Amino acid sequence: MQRAAGTEVAAAVADAHRREWAFVLAATVRVAGDIDTAEEAVQDAYASALSAWGSSGIPGNPGAWLTVAARRRALDMRRRAATAQRALPKLLDPEERGGSGPDIGGQEIPDDRLRLIFTCCHPALALEARVALTLRLLCGLSTAEVARAFLVQEPTMAARITRAKKKIAAAKIPYRVPAVSELPGRVEAVLSVVYLVYTTGHTAPSGGDLMRRDLAERGLELARMLRVLLPHDPDVAGLLALILLTEARTAARVDGHHDAVLLEDQDRSKWDRRAIAEGTALLREALASRPPGRFALMAAIAAVHDESGSWAETDWDEILGLYNLLMERWPSPVVRLNRAIALGFAAAPPTGWLSSTPWEPNRSWRGIRTFLPPAASSFSGSAAWRKRAQRLRKP
């Protein structure tokens, strides 16, 4: 391999971090035996890549290079601290540790990332900690990015992630996919994680790009994997339907200048009709469950948009009715905000409407949209809405 320029190497390492972090960390945990050791080893591998790739060239498979480097580093760390390591709680069963390569544990689990998701989403952890820890470890988001996704301060999120890691070690939470009989009780937290992975990519919480396609694609991939694991679970079907019906509009969301295109202005001929058809079929299956889950209801809202021939034809009364149902199923501030927005489009907003909605003036419009479900993230259609959006941008 030829030597590579510093800027080229830096770009390659950054790209590998976005695309390969989850694969590298998930494989390294199986060797390291605990998450903190694995994460340190992976970080060292990425740091060493900056110098090694500059002298020997960028490898053809950066993920494989980083995985080997991280696993070797983890083994070295274990050897150098053998006495201390024996005293620490282990994440893996003895028969699962060691070996010359990553054992993926059967054909039905083709990816160690799923092991990592279920470990981070263990019921011994608080729900917010499960989601935050998985975004940090599985997707490689910085603590600041995870904090923005949750609309909390960075120190608060850092403490939450640290406590979650310590809890995993102290509770000896195993690094494995639960048995089939255990899956239904564990799947809700996992679905929340996958959805946040997707939405973080769909509207990135930081950086100059509106979307991080690697994360969005990772979320879709994980949703499909869960569908294989739980083919008859209506909530899994609802989540996959929601992601597909949202993903279908991706080609029309950004213009040639990489600026966002509002839903009302999108070229609907660019929407992926195959994804809409697949998502709609899954939605019918998810809605057959009574009562329908929150992801099914959110997917139904996305379907109303996708099936509208134009912005003017959008059935806002139906969307409002779906948000009313969603409020009963999942009465969160986000849903209240979206319901208020739907009410504004369905009819003339009532007196005091804007002051009664739970948004904060010091939040940027983009920050609010980042946290909204993609089914209703492109709502600022009228001139009045655009003026309100401009006001929200001001401190």
pLDDT in tens, 171-209: 888 888 888 778 777 888 889 888 988 887 787 655 556
Q: What is the DSSP letter of 349?
A: P
**What is the rounded distance in angstroms from the CA atom of residue 23 to the CA atom of residue 19?**
8
- Which residue, 172, 167, 36, is CA-closest to 94? 172
Distance, in Å, from the CA atom of 151 to the CA atom of 76, rounded to the nearest integer, reads 38
3-class state of residue 208 by DSSP:
coil
Mean pLDDT score, 46-60: 91
pLDDT in tens, 91-148: 555 444 444 333 323 333 335 777 888 898 888 888 778 878 878 887 788 888 888 7
Contact 92, 175 (CB under 8 A): yes
pTM assigned to the model: 0.64
Q: Which three-class secondary structure state does DSSP give residue 260?
A: strand
Side chain identity at residue 234, one-letter code: P
303-345: pLDDT as tens digits: 999 999 999 999 999 999 999 999 998 888 889 988 988 888 8
Please give the pLDDT value at position 369. Answer: 43
Q: Could you give the angle at the alpha carbon of 321 between the alpha carbons of 352 and 242, nearest 5°?
A: 110
Position 209 scores a pLDDT of: 65
pLDDT (average), residues 74-81: 84
- Count H helices, E strands: the chain? 18, 0
Does residue 236 carry a pLDDT above 60? yes
Q: What is the dihedral sign for C-alpha 238, 243, 249, 253?
A: positive
- Residue 193 makes CB contacts below 8 A (sequence gap 6+) with 117, 120, 121, 130, 131, 134, 135, 138
pLDDT of 227 over the 50 cut: yes
- Tell me: the pLDDT tens digits for 6-49? 789 999 999 999 888 988 998 899 888 888 889 999 999 999 99
Peptide bond into 291 cis (omega under 30): yes
| Cα gap 64→23, rounded to integer Å | 9
Q: What percentage of residues in the chain have a pLDDT greater than 90?
A: 34
- Segment among 22-36, 159-173, 347-361 with least mean pLDDT: 347-361
Residue 346 confidence (pLDDT) above 60: yes
Sign of CA dihedral 170, 175, 177, 180: negative
CB 310 within 8 A of CB 264: no
pLDDT of residue 392: 35
| Inter-residue contact 287 to 300 (CB < 8 Å) | yes
* 117 and 138 Cβ atoms separated by less than 8 Å: yes
Q: How large is the average pLDDT for residues 199-225?
A: 75
Cβ burial of 99 (10 Å; 0-12, 13-18, 19+) is exposed
Mean pLDDT of the chain: 78
Q: CB of 191 within 8 A of CB of 295?
A: yes
Strands (E) in the chain, as ranges, are none
